[in-house]
Amino acid sequence: MNPEFLKELEIQRGYLLRVARLQLRDTALAEDVVQDTLTAALTAQQGFTGKSSVKTWLTGILKHKIVDAIRRKQRDPIAASSIDEECDIEELDGLFKTSNGAWEQPPSEWGNPEQSLQRSEFMSIMDLCLERLPPNTARVFMMREVMELESDEICQELRITANNLWVILYRARMSLRECLEKNWFGKGAA
């Protein structure tokens, strides 16, 4: 057993747990999924070629484990009423001009997003912003943007319409934009 590899697994465990918690909204299940991910990584250690980072490789394994867990949980679908409550986008109308639909106040300059993504401070703020989303909104966002599930599969698993999916993703993106601008890209950002 490679001690450096074991150390890297331990370093990445916290990140994996945050992703799993955000997606599953069940701490015990998230712990189980991360444990399964780390076990699978240890078993497949010889197959890791180093073409990607350990974090990227582990995230790929985690995605599959989370999808499996979601499919197992499918017997307990989200109550439609809780998703419907998150689909009201009228409160976001104030962000746009009624005359032409343009931004009332355009997004602030974000600089070089690729550099920001590489900074661990940014990822901490992003995690904070994701945690502030309503649970079902965060779950849908993670399924689409992190787990890279197809829209049809998300709709089928959550028993929602494509329109509801679009609205939830829109709300998630707008909320994340606002949170990132306030906590990262704004004047108070470090």
pLDDT tens for residues 103-115?
777 777 767 766 6
Bridge-partner residues for 103, per DSSP? Answer: 96
pLDDT tens for residues 17-68?
988 888 887 889 999 999 999 999 999 888 888 788 888 889 889 988 988 8
Is residue 71 within 8 A of residue 157, CB to CB? The reply is yes
Asked if pLDDT for residue 80 goes beyond 60, the answer is: no
Residue 161 is predicted with a pLDDT of: 92
Residue 68 CB-half CA count within 13 A? 13
DSSP per residue, 75-100: TSPPPHHHHHHTT--GGGGGGB-TTT
Is residue 168 within 8 A of residue 87, CB to CB? The reply is yes
All structural domains of the chain, each given as residue ranges with its CATH number in brackets, are: 3-73 (1.10.1740.10), 80-185 (no CATH)
- The span from the CA of 82 to the CA of 116, in Å, is 34
Token duo for residue 59: 């995230």
Residue 190 is predicted with a pLDDT of: 42
Residue 165 is predicted with a pLDDT of: 93
pLDDT tens for residues 100-152?
777 777 777 767 766 656 666 777 788 889 888 998 898 899 888 877 888 99
Token duo for residue 24: 């599953």
Q: What is the mean pLDDT of residues 65-74?
A: 80
Residue 74 is predicted with a pLDDT of: 63
**Exposed, middle or buried, 22 (CB in 10 Å: 0-12/13-18/19+)?**
buried
Asked if pLDDT for residue 88 goes beyond 70, the answer is: no
